[in-house]
A and B are shown apart, each in its own frame.
Chain A
Amino acid sequence: MQQAATLSEPTNLLARFLRGRKWYGAEWYMTMTGGLIVAFIVVLTLLTFFTPRLAPYDPESRVGDPFTPPCTTHIFGTDQLGRDIFSRIIYGAQIVLQVALLSAVFSFIVGVPLGLISGFLGGRLDRVLSLVMDSIYSFPGLILAIALAALLGAGVLNMSVAIAVVYVPIFFRLVRGQVLSIKEELYVEAARSLGARGRTILWRYIFPNVIPSIVVVFSLNIADAIITEAGLAFIGLGVDPSKPDWGYDIYRGRSELVGGRWWPVTFPGLAIALVALGFSLFGEGLSEILNPRLTEA
């Protein structure tokens, strides 16, 4: 009801936003910060994808002396091969975002339908699927991703698949749980009593009511996948080593820390932390917006 009211009155929403206290009951500045980071990263990735000359330098060639500390020509400094770290971070966003989005989409495509069917049909199928999913879930995520990535080999697609496998059970369990509870709702029983088909009930009564929680988990999942991707890249299971990748750049820079050269590690690390935080905040904000029970009147 809350949402319907605000959607029909955009000025009201703006007024609330400008009043600046609470936005949909969420701490608006946190949600906004998260949203802005996400938007920024998405725009940046799209731009680097289509206009290669956006970054000040070519991320893959030597453009200055190795280990130049941050200065006016190289604001984040250069690495051991004299490549501009700032440019590498900008280009690195592409890979991070590709892998994170792809893996989240893969786990969505597999986890959500399986969860829907498993929860809806129940019985033996449900027991088997739950068992499989729980056993995947019980593995430590990163270790499983490492094993799979090692098995599949490097590359954006392979890394996405490896990470996706880890997150399938999260979608599955969430959706299945929701289906189990929505299935018992009176409106589902009422639909049955009016002769609705099984697939109508699943598609038009259960699925739409599950969507809000999926959206939230999807966003939180991207945040998680970013960190996992960085972890994989760090141990060398990422993409082609010459390509800019935040995780792999940290790996290469870490041995230089002893010599007091902090910038090859710090800036990619900051980028990872910031983007993961952005997606997390965005997900949290979404959950508060989409969940009317958390909305303050």
Chain B
Amino acid sequence: MSEPVLQIRNLSVDYPTRAGVVRAVDDVSLTVYRGEVLGLVGESGCGKSTLGMAILRLLRPPGKIVAGEIVFNGRNLLELDDETMRHLRGAHISMIFQDPMTCLNPLQRISDHVIETIRTHRPEMGKQEARKRATELIDRLGIMAERLDDYPHQLSGGMRQRVMIGLALALNADLIIADEPTTSLDVIVEAQFLDLLRDLQRQFNLTIILITHNIGVVAELSDRVAVMYAGKLVELADVHSLFDDPLHPYTRGLLNSVPNISLTEDHLQIMDGSPPDLISPPPGCRFHPRCPYAKQECSRREPAMKNVGKDRLVACWLY
């Protein structure tokens, strides 16, 4: 495997609320290698987006990183000052957001967005040069150059999403965090978008963390998959082993609840219950109240991530 770009070690994020402290990310350790697409899946509220924002250090208040470290290209991001961190964002780590309809400034032209992003990090680059670069960039994304001076509202959702990718790629970032990038697109645009993302990824050997609740998107793009549940990482595997042989009961439940054309049963299997309250999570394994295989031990002690094969980790007492 290639060199690691990002190493998250024992990261915990807290949201203090009036009712108590919500630990949205709890003791998560994860490594992302250069050139891979890491899918990060889980239900809504399991902490996957929080993890993404924590990497950029853009957690919304009152969210706070309370423990752990995030090592990016050998530097611990949590120790950098704000200005250094700002220079890193966009130039080395960038993000693609969920909703392309609202992620562009309605009063700025597409060209302004791109040129501004480029010149923020390359102040020495002239306007003309930045504009040339912007034209190349959107051309590569399949948007005609004459649309460069359009306002966001003149573009379709798919085009705007491509502009977002363009902004994320503008400075050849080492790591791209894509937070639910296809959630608000319809299936056809989603498919086109995924194709584009995969092409770009191969062409430029991009490193992407793909945050999604859509197992299908993960299957299509990811090399490895990390499954999160209630703020914890529960399983980490390469995409083939995960789909062929999901180990953690939660992963199984997640895969079973996806509609499948070859489904023989009449009903889709649905997981019972709902994710736990993170202010007072259940003792032991957080999944045990919903787990069909729960043993006594599961409600007593918390399972640690265990190595169960080549690059396969799972946190479950069954293994």
Residues of A participating in the B interface, judged by any CB pair closer than 8 Å: 1, 4, 185-187, 189-197, 200, 204-205, 208-209
Given contacts A185-B102, A195-B120, are A190 and B97 in contact (CB under 8 A)? Answer: yes
When the two chains form their complex, are residues A197 and B86 in contact, meaning their CB atoms are under 8 A apart? yes
Q: Which residues of A contact B89 (CB under 8 A)?
A: 192-195
For the complex of A and B, 10 pairs with smallest distance between CB atoms: A195-B90, A194-B90, A195-B89, A193-B95, A190-B103, A186-B102, A208-B107, A186-B103, A187-B105, A194-B117
Q: Which residues of B contact A208 (CB under 8 A)?
A: 105, 107-108
Q: Which residues of A contact B56 (CB under 8 A)?
A: 193
Residues 136-154 of B, flagged 1 when their CB comes within 8 A of A and 0 if not, give 0000000000000001011
When the two chains form their complex, are residues A190 and B95 in contact, meaning their CB atoms are under 8 A apart? yes
Question: What are 28 A-B residue pairs whose CB atoms fall within 8 Å in the complex?
Answer: A1-B153, A4-B153, A4-B154, A186-B97, A186-B102, A187-B106, A189-B58, A189-B97, A189-B103, A190-B97, A190-B103, A192-B58, A193-B90, A193-B95, A194-B120, A194-B167, A194-B168, A195-B88, A195-B117, A196-B90, A196-B116, A196-B117, A196-B120, A200-B116, A204-B108, A208-B105, A208-B107, A208-B108
Q: CB-nearest residue of chain A relative to B86?
A: A195
Q: Which residues of A contact B103 (CB under 8 A)?
A: 186-187, 189-190
Residues of B participating in the A interface, judged by any CB pair closer than 8 Å: 56, 58, 86-91, 94-95, 97-99, 102-108, 112, 116-117, 120-121, 151, 153-154, 164, 167-168
Q: State A88–B167 Cα separation when bound (angstroms).
A: 62
Beyond A190-B103, A209-B105, 14 additional contacts (C-beta under 8 Å) are A1-B153, A186-B98, A187-B104, A189-B58, A189-B103, A190-B97, A193-B58, A193-B97, A194-B90, A194-B120, A195-B90, A195-B120, A200-B116, A205-B108
Given contacts A197-B86, A197-B120, A200-B116, are A191 and B95 in contact (CB under 8 A)? Answer: no
Q: State A205–B90 Cα separation when bound (angstroms).
A: 17
Q: CB-nearest residue of chain B relative to A208?
A: B107
Given contacts A185-B102, A190-B103, are A195 and B58 in contact (CB under 8 A)? Answer: no
Taking the closest CB of chain A, its distance from the CB of B151, in whole angstroms, is 8
Q: Which residues of A contact B94 (CB under 8 A)?
A: 193-194
Q: Which residues of A contact B108 (CB under 8 A)?
A: 204-205, 208
Q: State A172–B91 Cα separation when bound (angstroms).
A: 35
Q: Which residues of A contact B168 (CB under 8 A)?
A: 194
Taking the closest CB of chain A, its distance from the CB of B267, in whole angstroms, is 37
Q: Which residues of B contact A205 (CB under 8 A)?
A: 105, 108
Q: Which residues of B contact A189 (CB under 8 A)?
A: 58, 97, 103
Q: Which residues of A contact B151 (CB under 8 A)?
A: 4
When the two chains form their complex, are residues A195 and B91 in contact, meaning their CB atoms are under 8 A apart? yes
Q: Which residues of A contact B98 (CB under 8 A)?
A: 186
Q: State A76–B286 Cα separation when bound (angstroms).
A: 86
When the two chains form their complex, are residues A186 and B99 in contact, meaning their CB atoms are under 8 A apart? yes
Taking the closest CB of chain B, its distance from the CB of A212, in whole angstroms, is 10
Q: Which residues of B contact A187 (CB under 8 A)?
A: 102-106
Q: Which residues of A contact B88 (CB under 8 A)?
A: 195
When the two chains form their complex, are residues B97 and A195 in contact, meaning their CB atoms are under 8 A apart? no
Q: CB-nearest residue of chain A relative to B95?
A: A193
Q: Which residues of A contact B97 (CB under 8 A)?
A: 186, 189-190, 193
Q: State A160–B271 Cα separation when bound (angstroms).
A: 68
Q: CB-nearest residue of chain B relative to A193?
A: B95
Q: State A185–B152 Cα separation when bound (angstroms).
A: 15
Taking the closest CB of chain B, its distance from the CB of A120, in whole angstroms, is 14
Taking the closest CB of chain A, its distance from the CB of B134, in whole angstroms, is 13
Q: State A190–B106 Cα separation when bound (angstroms).
A: 13
Q: State A193–B164 Cα separation when bound (angstroms).
A: 11
Taking the closest CB of chain B, its distance from the CB of A186, in whole angstroms, is 4
Q: State A281–B102 Cα separation when bound (angstroms).
A: 33
Given contacts A200-B120, A204-B105, are A190 and B91 in contact (CB under 8 A)? Answer: no
Taking the closest CB of chain B, its distance from the CB of A246, in whole angstroms, is 40
| Contact residue among A185, A204, A209 (Cβ-Cβ distance under 8 Å from B116) | A204
Taking the closest CB of chain A, its distance from the CB of B273, in whole angstroms, is 32
Q: CB-nearest residue of chain B relative to A201?
A: B105
When the two chains form their complex, are residues A195 and B102 in contact, meaning their CB atoms are under 8 A apart? no
